[in-house]
Amino acid sequence: METELMEQPARAAPVHTEGRLIVGTLNDGLIGTHHCAMEESGAKAIALTGMVGEPDDALSRGNAHRIAACWNACQGLTMDHFDGGWTAKGLSRHAKALENQIATARTLLSDALETFDDNLDQDHEVADRIRAFLKGGAA
C-alpha cells in the first residue's frame, strides 16, 4: 500500500495584537474591576487575571505584570521563533538587545530621579518603584 503525501496548505501568519502591554484595571460593567494586561493605549485588555480588592488581589496584579513582561520580552519575534526556528545565536542576540534596553531605561530613570528628586516626597510610590528598579529589584 502506497501512501501519497499531500501538499499542506501554507500556514497563514497568526494575527495578534501588536505592540507592548501594560498592567491596568478594567471594569467589565457586570462583575467588577479586574487586573489585566492591556494594550499601551488602554484600548483593549488582552488577559484578565482577577478581581481588584479580592483576597488574591496581589497575586492577580502580579500575574498581570508577569503576562505583560513575557509579552514585552517577545516584542519583535515572529511565530517562527516559537515554532522551533530560533537558534542559540538568535536567542543570544535578542537577550543582548533586551539587556541594552534595560540599561538604557536604568540610565534614563536615574537621570529623571536625580533631576526631580527634590520635588518628590520620599514616600512617593512611583519614586519608590524607580529606586527599587535601579537597585535591581522589581518595578
Can you give the pLDDT at residue 139?
Answer: 47
pLDDT tens-digit readout, 100-113: 988 888 888 888 87
| Beta strands 33-39 and 45-51, pairing class | antiparallel
Half-sphere exposure of 113 (CA within 13 A, CB side): 19
Percentage of the chain modeled with pLDDT above 70: 83
Distance CA 105, CA 139 (A): 12
Q: Considering the chain, what is the average pLDDT of its residues?
A: 79
Ranges of residues in the chain whose predicted pLDDT is under 50: 1-3, 5-6, 8, 139
Give per-residue burial for 84-103: e unless 16+ CB within 10 Å, then b. eeeeeeeeeebeeeeeeeee
* DSSP E strands, the chain: 21-27, 33-39, 45-51
- pTM of the model as a whole: 0.58
Can you give the pLDDT at residue 57?
Answer: 85
Can you give the pLDDT at residue 11?
Answer: 57
